[in-house]
Each structure stands twice: as C-alpha cells, then as structure tokens.
Amino acid sequence: SFTKPLVAAVASCCAALTYAANPIFTDVFTADPAALVHDGKVYLYTGHDQAKDNTKFFEMHDWLVFSSDDMVNWEAHGPRLQVKDFKWAKGDAWASQVIERDGKFYWYITARHNDTKPGFAIGVAVGDSPLGPFKDALGKALITNDMTTATSNDWDDIDPSVWIDDDGQAYLFWGNTKAYYAKLKKNMTELDGPITEIKGLPEFTEAIWIHKHKDNFYLSYAMGFPEKIGYAMSKNINGPWEYKGILNEVAGNTPTNHQAIITFNDKHYFIYHTGAGRPDGGQYRRSVSIDELFYNPDGTIKRIIMTSE
Ligand code: FUB
C-alpha cells in the first residue's frame, strides 16, 4: 500500500483534510490520471512512467490502479492492464479512462499501433470489476489512424475520454492537435455514427476529460505546450462548446499536463500530474497530485490552487 502514515495521522486528527499530501504516491511514478467513482470508492487509473531519467522519452508499458474510500488513504492494486494485452499494439501505454456500464467496466486506452497501422490508436479492454481482470474487448483497435489521419498527424488518436449521458447514449472523445468525438453503441465497443472534429477549443493539444456538474457539460483539455489545462462548457454534450478559461498553469517541471475531474462525498477534485514534488521527477517521471476544485455560482470553475508546487 502507498498509504502514508503521517498523512493518515493528520487525517484522523483534522477532519478538514480531504486529500493526501502531494504527490500522492512517492514510490512509483504515475501520470495521466483517470478516476472512476463506483460503489462508495474512488478508483484511480494511471499511466506508469518507467523511464530511467528525464533525458530521452516516455517509457510506459502498463497501467496502474489505486483505490480509496476517502481520497487520503490509497491502496495500490498494481498494474491491471499492459500494452502486451493488446496484440495489435507495440508500445506506449499512454492516457486512458475507465467507465462502468451494466456491471461491466470498459477501459479505453492509448497505445502505439503495430506496423500495419502506424501511429497511435485507441483500444478498449473489458472486465467484470473495477479491478478487472481486463481483456482486450475487440482484438483490434477501436480508433486507428486511417479513420482520422487525412489532414492530421500520427498522434491524433490518443487520450480517450468516455461519457454516458442520462439518456444512455455513450460518447468517446479523444485527440491530439485535433479534437474528435463519436457516439458509441450500447456495447461500448463500436462507433455509432461518424467521427466529428470539435472546433472552437483554443490552443487544443490533448488530454480531453468530459464531466457534468448540475446541468452543464465540461470539456477540459491540455492547451499549448508546455501545457495548461483549459476548459469549455456547453448545455449539450454535442456542443457547441464555449471556452471559459484556464484551470491550472503548467504543473511543475514537466511540459505535459493531464487532468481528471470528479465529485466524491460532496467535494470536487482536480487530479493531475506534475514533475515536481520528487527530486528525481520531471518530464518522463511524473507524479499524480490532487487538489480541490470549486465551482462559481454560474457554473464556471475557479482557478485551481496547486499544492504540488
Ligand atoms: O503520458 C503520455 C502522454 O503525455 C499522454 O497521452 C498525454 O496526455 C501526455 O500526458
């Protein structure tokens, strides 16, 4: 377990503490957080930075899972999915997200496709519990470069974010440089219509996260490079999206920035990664951190105060 005794002691003394000190894990490098609230627990799915230092590139082979009852004490469940679980993939376990539908858990992942379809692709694994076991649901990628690449790049099919609306319609959002979305069928493993490019997101880079608060939809994303997290709002999951501003600045010591936004026990959380907080951290050795998120009465979101810096 990655539980930190000091944090636990402070938590038991001070009822106001609602998340662990940042970074929340200090014995493993974690990135690209995605969180799922299920059955009174928060499940945190992260990428796993394994680069030896910060000089070359990402080394990412698997995805980790952690869970918590209180956002303070975290239990580590180890890697629960690996690139090699996808026969069509050859490396780079980049950003992912898990969602539940009808008792099944669908884990949408980014990985580099093998030689027949170069570039990055999005796949989906399925399991019977938030901890799996998970297996490739399709035996092939769900989104590949040849579906979106015409005027784009080899990296545009990364960073999936999945949403099921109140009427049961599911949607997949993703992208790098260009932002895309498409409907998913009820089986969660097939597209249910065309892929549409989302316009009007200033400086869009990657890392879409979709969430809803009251009657507003939110599309947050990494903008520019080095990346800040910005967000847009809409009354409709199909847009149009109206850009509203920046949520956090470049998070210490790494140009990437990647967020998940959840509500748990009536508090709102902004979960992200940073290269700061550990002496050997940096661009390819990132650490997940958590800070509280606050809405304004009109639904806009206040700038995040990062305690990871
Ligand atoms: O972790 C690899 C890539 O870096 C992710 O897919 C992007 O969102 C950025 O964080």
Q: Do residues 170 and 183 lie in contact, with contact meaning Cβ atoms separated by under 8 Å?
A: yes
Ligand 1 atom at minimum distance from 92 CA? 2
The Cβ of residue 216 has, within 10 Å, a number of other Cβ atoms equal to: 16
| 12 Cα: distance to centroid of ligand 1 (angstroms) | 35
Ligand 1 atom at minimum distance from 95 CA? 6
Mean pLDDT of the chain: 93
- Average confidence (pLDDT) over 170-188: 97
Q: Is the pLDDT of residue 5 over 50?
A: no
Q: What is the pLDDT of residues 68-93, one digit of tens each?
A: 999 999 999 999 999 999 999 999 99
What is the best residue among 45, 56, 94 to mutate for testing ligand 1's pocket, by most ligand atoms within 8 Å of CB?
Answer: 94
Q: Is the pLDDT of residue 49 over 60?
A: yes
Q: Whose CA is nearest to atom 8 of ligand 1?
A: 207
**Which pair of structure tokens corresponds to residue 234?**
């809409």
Ligand 1 neighbours (beta carbon < 6 A): 31-32, 47, 58, 94-95, 110, 158-159, 206-207, 256, 258
Q: What is the pLDDT of residues 216-244, one digit of tens each?
A: 999 999 999 999 999 999 999 999 999 99
Ligand 1 atom at minimum distance from 273 CA? 10
- Average confidence (pLDDT) over 151-176: 92
| pTM of the predicted model as reported, rounded to 2 decimal places | 0.94
> What is the ipTM score, two decimals?
0.98
Q: Do residues 289 and 281 lie in contact, with contact meaning Cβ atoms separated by under 8 Å?
A: no
Q: Do residues 259 and 286 lie in contact, with contact meaning Cβ atoms separated by under 8 Å?
A: no
| 31 Cα: distance to centroid of ligand 1 (angstroms) | 8
**Which pair of structure tokens corresponds to residue 178?**
């260009």
**Which pair of structure tokens corresponds to residue 4?**
């930190």
Rounded-to-10 torsion of CA 184, 153, 258, 264: 0
Predicted local distance difference test score (pLDDT) of residue 7 = 45
How far is 180 from 40, CA to CA, in rounded Å?
32
